[in-house]
Amino acid sequence: MTKATKSAKKAAKPEKTKAPPVSQVNKNTLLTPETLPTPVMAGRDFLSNLDMSAAELRAVMDTAHSMKRGEWRGVKPLSGLSLALVFEKSSLRTRTTFDVGMYQLGGHAITLSNTEIGLGTRERVSDVARNLERWVDGVMGRVYLQQTLHELADHAAIPVINGLSDMLHPAQLLADYQTIEEEFGTDLRGRRVVYIGDGNNLANSHIHMGILTGSDVTIVTPVGYEPNAGVLMDAVQQSTQITLTHDLAAIEGADVLYTDVWISMGMEAEADIRRRAFQGYQVTPGMLDTLAPDGIFLHCLPAHYGEETVPEATEHPKSRVFDQAENRLHAQKALLYHLMGDMKPRW
């Protein structure tokens, strides 16, 4: 290879994307142990976004924004506390952000895969809960069934957090709405949030967040893939209007467009049927051009490019997908603080 060829190859190599800069914090805004807010959900479980009130959500979101600004760098409110991370499903964002979040707050996380504990197979879920409550101060579960989380919570006297289930993904929605607030402010009443795709756990949790925030939630799905009927009843009972439609025209003018994979983990056997059903529901740059002028695109990741979206959409100027992924860390740190912030080490 000649020097000229080497130089040409070097020139063609794309530059690395720089990491976001570390925020500069005014020393006068740094929190101290004496100025920490009162934990608003102390000792409770977080299995659904509806496990918090609108006021409690506001407190958690304010803490998340404060943490992102770096105002908590001088405090370690979870020092000496431990969180068990229980995984039936694989994870990048959930695993990393809960682990790093506990570390940054002064605590410790231990990861337990299902091959190690065998929830409901090697050992009863209730027995796992009774063991963990004697060793750690909280449990985060990323599991197949919502019922597994309820069983853990019923038998453990420590906070249990839903890191994902078949029914709901409430921790993800905290990060999503932190990202939305960064664009539109904290009053989201009437803001059009349009979810397109499978009426899955993300769609269900969007309905719950519509109840809490007053955002105008629309769910666009193919026929037969609508959200859970029980979750829709939650909205009815709270007198919250949720729009369900199969018409892609509902996307036009939206403030937020959100999608998720068509084929979730555990649904691989339905892959071909689902790909046919969801034809036309792919988020493309052309679709993003129909949003409100300041509209944004969100995706919880991982993306199945070529199915529910394309790389040109996640890299589009309207995309906030990677800000959204970053906010998993800040939002979940805020959640951990408000659930565990008044605990003391037991050792």
Contact of 87 with 109, CB cutoff 8 Å: no
Cross-strand bridge partners of residue 87: 113, 142
Our CA dihedral for 259, 262, 266, 269, rounded to 10 degrees, sits at: 180
- Ligand-binding site membership of 52 (annotated): no
Question: Tell me, what's the pLDDT at 307?
Answer: 96
Please indicate whether the domains covering 40-169+328-340 and 172-326 agree at the CATH topology level. Answer: yes
pTM given for the model: 0.92
pLDDT of residue 10: 45
Write out the E strands in the chain.
Answer: 82-87, 108-113, 138-142, 160-164, 192-196, 216-220, 243-245, 256-259, 296-299
How many angstroms separate the first and last alpha carbons of the chain?
64
Instruction: Find out whether the peptide bond into 77 is cis, omega within 30 degrees of 0.
Output: no
Q: What is the pLDDT of residue 9?
A: 44
Q: 301 a known binding residue?
A: yes
**Does the domain spanning 172-326 belong to CATH 3.90.79.10?**
no
**Residue 8 counted as an annotated binding residue:** no
Is 233 annotated to bind a ligand? Reply is: no
pLDDT at site 42: 98
Note the CATH architecture for domain 40-169+328-340. Answer: 3-Layer(aba) Sandwich (3.40)
Which residues, in sequence order, are bridge partners of residue 256? 193, 296
Q: Residue 92's pLDDT is what?
A: 96
pLDDT score, position 6: 46
Predicted pLDDT of residue 17: 56
Q: Any idea which residues carry the catalytic annotation?
A: 142, 169, 172, 260, 300, 328
Is 265 annotated in a binding site? The answer is yes
Q: What residue ranges do the domains of the chain occupy?
A: 40-169+328-340, 172-326
What local confidence, expressed as pLDDT, does residue 254 receive?
98
Mean pLDDT, consecutive 10-residue stretches, the chain (347 aa), reads 48 54 71 97 98 98 98 97 96 97 98 89 94 98 97 98 98 98 98 98 98 98 97 97 97 98 84 93 98 98 97 98 98 98 94
pLDDT of residue 8: 46
